[in-house]
Structure 1
Amino acid sequence: MSAYGFAHLRVRRPHADILEYLERIQDTLDPFHGRFVIHGPPAELVEGDWPGSMVLLEFPDLDTARAWYRSPAYQAIIRLRTDHIDGDLLLIEGVGPDYDPRVRAAKLRDRSAAG
C-alpha cells in the first residue's frame, strides 16, 4: 500500500541552502521510488486557516518511506531545509482502493459504545 511523506511548511526564510536542497532531494528519492505529488503553493484555502504551504511525497509503502527518511543521502541534506524552514513532516500509510469510511465510522462507534 502506498505511503506518503506529508510536510506542512510554515515559515520559510529564503536562503541558498534551500535551493541546494531542492537541487539534491530528487536524487535521495529515486532509489526509494519516491516522487513529489504536491509541491505547493499555490493552494486554494476553502476552510479554516492554513499558514504556509505543503509538500506531499509518495512511496511504495511505509517501510520504504522510513528507509528514505533515514537514508544517509537524505540525512546529509536535511539541515539545508530545517535550518531555514519551520514545519512538520509526517510519514503515513495511505488507504487502499477498497477503503470505505463507513467501516471506520462503525468501528469508532463500536469503540465509543464499549468505552
Structure 2
Amino acid sequence: MSIAYGPNFVLITARECCELKAEDIAEKLEIPLSDYEDIESGAKQITSDLAQKLGQIFNITPELFMYRMAETINYNTGQGSHSGPIYTYNNHSIWGIDKTQIEKIIKGNSPGKQ
C-alpha cells in the first residue's frame, strides 16, 4: 500500500484497503480508467455526485472523500493575530485523519460487520 497525502488520500486508502485495483473502481463508477486515474491523481476533482457513488461503493459517508476540498477561511487577521489558519491537530497525520483511521472505518462498515 502506498501513502498518498493529498486531496484524494481517502479514495486511494479506501481502494487499497479493499484490495481493489483502479480498474475495479472505474468499472463500478462506469467511467473510463483514464478518468478514474485523473481523479485519483488529483487532475480531476471529486464532485459531490462522485463522492455519493464512492460512498456507496465503500459503504462510508461521502463527506470523507471531500473533506480536503473544503475551503479554509481565515478571520484571524490583524496585529497580534498570528494570522494563520486553524487546522485540526493530529499527531499522526498532516491532514487531520490518517490511513489507520480510514482503514478502521472501511473495515468496520464492510458487510457482515453489523
Instruction: Report which of the two structures shows the higher radius of gyration computed on alpha carbons.
Output: 1
- Structure number having the greater strand percentage: 1
Higher relative contact order (CA 8 A, sep 6+): 1
TM-score by length of 1: 0.31
TM-score (norm 2): 0.31
